[in-house]
Amino acid sequence: MIEVKLTAIGAFLLFFLPLQAAAETTVTPFSALKFNGERATDYFLLRDNSTGVLMSGGRRMSRWTIKPVTSTQTDISWSNPDPQKDSPPEPPKVEEWSIRRNCMDGRSFLWLDAYRSDIGIADKSPRFRIGARRTEFRGVDGEWVKLDTSGCGAGGHLYALYDVTTDAYGIRVWGDIYMADGVTVGRRFFWQADLAYAPNVENPCRHSADSARPGLRLDEAWWDNVNGWSIGSGDMLDAEPSGANVIYGRWGVLAKGGGPGWVGGWGNRPKESFCLIEE
């Protein structure tokens, strides 16, 4: 779940050597991971029409709605759970997701393709596509490896492995968000996350027999050249994050059959924790 304010988006293609350099190799690190036979789509719920409301500090914070578009494409929208009756509704912020199958080292992946501001008029909603300039992966050996993702098709960026592994792993991306014309680079960004399998995650907002479920914990950091480090922090080089000394600023758990926001929070600020409520 990444909140992106799609405004004031002019950037340039920047190549640099990170301070914490990844190994320059085409060898992928996926073979060292242990997989448990589950699919990440059962946690991200990319194949289910569903909705959920996040609670934080005693108030309803956000509503997500998941709508499959095709067998491999899904929209996840985020909106106000309690819109004001006398105010025009705020357009939902939509994330366009896809499944990229057997495209790198024989593996499949979950991909984040674009952001959209959904004004409710077909073919008129502004769409902001994503492009990755560099993608790196950190497996069980702890070393960052640069990935060649060209076999997975153009656009978007790798977000998670399709197959669930019980080993923790990391992904980081240097990329661009384009303006609605689809051509002009508007915003440079850096996103880094660690994903870890958790067999039993309790949700304090739910009072039912299934309040504890398996989960995928996501710890993340986000920077862009408009807002700077809005989630977490890290070292900079040539006006972009170098990838060194990244500190995560938000965490959340996607629960099996429960979806995004099962539990989560901002860094070490317990009062700003959130969880998924029952409706």
The tens digit of pLDDT for each residue in 87-134 reads: 666 778 999 999 999 999 999 999 999 999 866 555 667 999 999 999
Based on the structure, what is the number of domains in the chain?
1
Q: How confident is the model at residue 192 (pLDDT cuts 50, 70, 90)?
A: very high
- Separation between Cα atoms, residue 73 and residue 45, nearest integer Å: 12
**Residue 4: inside a domain:** no
Per-residue confidence (pLDDT) for residue 57, from 0 to 100: 86
Element (H or E) spanning 185, and its range? Answer: strand 185-202
**Residue 1: inside a domain:** no
Q: How confident is the model at residue 19 (pLDDT cuts 50, 70, 90)?
A: very low
- In contact, 172 and 52? CB cutoff 8 Å: no
Element (H or E) spanning 41, and its range? Answer: helix 41-44
- Separation between Cα atoms, residue 268 and residue 162, nearest integer Å: 29
Per-residue confidence (pLDDT) for residue 92, from 0 to 100: 85
Q: Is the pTM of this model over 0.85?
A: yes
**Residue 81: inside a domain:** yes
Per-residue confidence (pLDDT) for residue 18, from 0 to 100: 38
- Separation between Cα atoms, residue 95 and residue 37, nearest integer Å: 27
**Residue 148: inside a domain:** yes
- Separation between Cα atoms, residue 230 and residue 226, nearest integer Å: 10
**Residue 6: inside a domain:** no
Each residue's pLDDT tens digit, 210-227: 999 999 999 999 999 999
- Separation between Cα atoms, residue 93 and residue 115, nearest integer Å: 7
> How far is CA 244 from each of CA 12, 28, 103, 195, 218, rounded to the nearest angstrom?
22, 21, 29, 18, 19
When the pLDDT of each residue in the chain is averaged and rounded to a whole number, the result is 88
Q: How confident is the model at residue 66 (pLDDT cuts 50, 70, 90)?
A: very high
**Residue 74: inside a domain:** yes
Each residue's pLDDT tens digit, 120-172: 555 667 999 999 999 999 999 999 999 999 999 999 999 999 999 999 999 99
- In contact, 231 and 221? CB cutoff 8 Å: yes
Q: Which residue has the higher pLDDT, 5 or 204?
A: 204
Q: How confident is the model at residue 261 (pLDDT cuts 50, 70, 90)?
A: very high
Q: DSSP character for 278?
A: P
Please say if the pLDDT value at position 206 is more than 60: yes
- Separation between Cα atoms, residue 224 and residue 177, nearest integer Å: 10
**Residue 24: inside a domain:** no
Q: How confident is the model at residue 9 (pLDDT cuts 50, 70, 90)?
A: very low
**Residue 3: inside a domain:** no
Q: Print the domain residue range for 240.
A: 30-277
Please say if the pLDDT value at position 12 is more than 90: no
